[in-house]
Structure 1
């Protein structure tokens, strides 16, 4: 039966066209945005996971930036320690020279004094971002470097750190207002003062002081070297971890562009056919007029 009031064929064609247009709009959104899960309504579980992991990834990247700052501080302190070792080696050589009885010990002391001043200058200049790891200062707390960000199994988060014991490895305990270092690893080295009447026993005592300082400087350099290795390894790991998280999130929420482009072409064809079908269904009512014209 054909009715001029209700066109069931047109209704079916229109319903089909609406469904195709809805699918086409969704596919176009995926193609334009690159996401198959762009909002919570697309997939609640995947959207929740991706939101959390993207947030964690930003924190990891921030920790990686902090690692760069920490690495600069370590490198600055290590450069000072390395330079100090060279200077102390020179003082050691001067003391060995002074062991020769015919040498002018007071002239040698003039050179040693300049080397001592150099030690103070090296330590005083070893500052990065307001921190100087070569001077213990009044508050000799450990230096802390942020080296990571982790999420525990219970959902809580934690920032991990690496520490450097400034009190144990500082070149000086403090720097006076006149720029002279005192205390610390090199405090005793700064007290070396040769005179023309100095005995070999006293020089040997100074040599023992220098050897002790060199040993302590070597330990400090080793500690900084170990910290540098840890920071470098953590930096590499943070980069790898960040890439892994991005890849994992991508698998959850990114659209397959090959699949979506193929689906888009198919839906566009279906849309054209549905429009044509609706046009045919609407024309059937007009054909009834021919019955009355005859």
Structure 2
């Protein structure tokens, strides 16, 4: 099974059962050596012990594979958690950009209008003073 973490496919993880040599293989009764049990397998103590050995070996293999799958699951869950947090952060940021507080915007508008009026008044006063100085010089 291949899990891809991004849209370009550059970040992914392959989850497969492998033997002790790292070769990919399926997990089934045949590969574990316990594909069948017949009455003759239980006739003697040695046969029972041999079959129990096969079962023990199969159980060890299954535990090993379960551990590997658990490790892969942890990686996938961490990535999923990161992705969910990133989505929440981006959605919050987008909402903050698009949803403006009307009271705050009204206050900003009033402040800008006041600045504009003050600058117009200052220019008018400066112009009047210049004209008054010119009239004195005449």
Q: Which TM-score bucket, shorter chain as reference?
A: 0.5 to 0.7
**TM superposition shift of 1:192:** 2.5
1:144 aligns with 2:2: yes
User: Among 34, 38, 45, which residue is 1:193 paired with?
Assistant: 38
Deviation string, structure 1 residues 60-109 (Cα, Å, up to 9, x no partner): xxxxxxxxxxxxxxxxxxxxxxxxxxxxxxxxxxxxxxxxxxxxxxxxxx
For the pair 1:162 / 2:19, whether they are aligned, the reply is no
The CA deviation string for residues 23-46 of structure 1, in whole angstroms up to 9 with x for no partner, is xxxxxxxxxxxxxxxxxxxxxxxx
Shift of 1:216: 0.7
SS of alignment partner, residue 189 of structure 1: coil
Residue pair 2:17, 2:65 contacting (<8 A) in 1 also: no
Moved over 6 A (4+): none
Is the Cα–Cα contact under 8 Å of residues 34 and 54 in structure 2 kept in the other structure? yes
Distance 1:249 1:197 in 2: 69
Q: Which residue does 1:154 correspond to in 2? A: none
Q: 1-side partners of 2:42 and 2:75: how far apart?
A: 50
The Cα shift of 1:244 comes to: 2.9
Rate the CA distance shift 1:196–1:225 in 2: closer, same or farther, 3 A.
closer
Please tell me whether the aligned partners of residues 169 and 216 of structure 1 are also in contact (alpha carbons under 8 angstroms).
Answer: no
Contact conserved, 1:149 with 1:158, CA < 8 A, in 2? yes
RCO comparison, higher one (Cα < 8 Å, 6+) = 1
Instruction: Give the TM-score taking structure 2 as reference length.
Output: 0.58
What secondary structure is seen at the aligned counterpart in 2 of 1:184?
helix
Cα drift, residue 263 of structure 1: 4.6
- SS of the counterpart of 1:191? coil
CA distances 1:165-188 after superposition (whole Å, capped 9, x unpaired): 14546332xxxxxxxxx5223xx2
Tell me the distance in 2 between the aligned counterparts of 1:220 and 1:213.
Answer: 11
Q: How many corresponding residue pairs? A: 107
Gaps of 5+ in 2: 19-23, 115-138
Cα drift, residue 159 of structure 1: 4.6
Kept in 2, the 8 Å contact 1:189–1:213? The answer is yes
Assess if the C-alpha contact under 8 Å between 2:2 and 2:14 holds in 1: yes
Please list the CA deviations of residues 247-269 of structure 1 after superposition, one character each: whole Å capped at 9, or x if unmatched: 45556x446423323356x49x9
Q: Which runs of 5+ in 1 are unaligned?
A: 1-142, 151-156, 173-181, 271-294
> Matches of 2:25 and 2:74 in 1, distance apart?
18
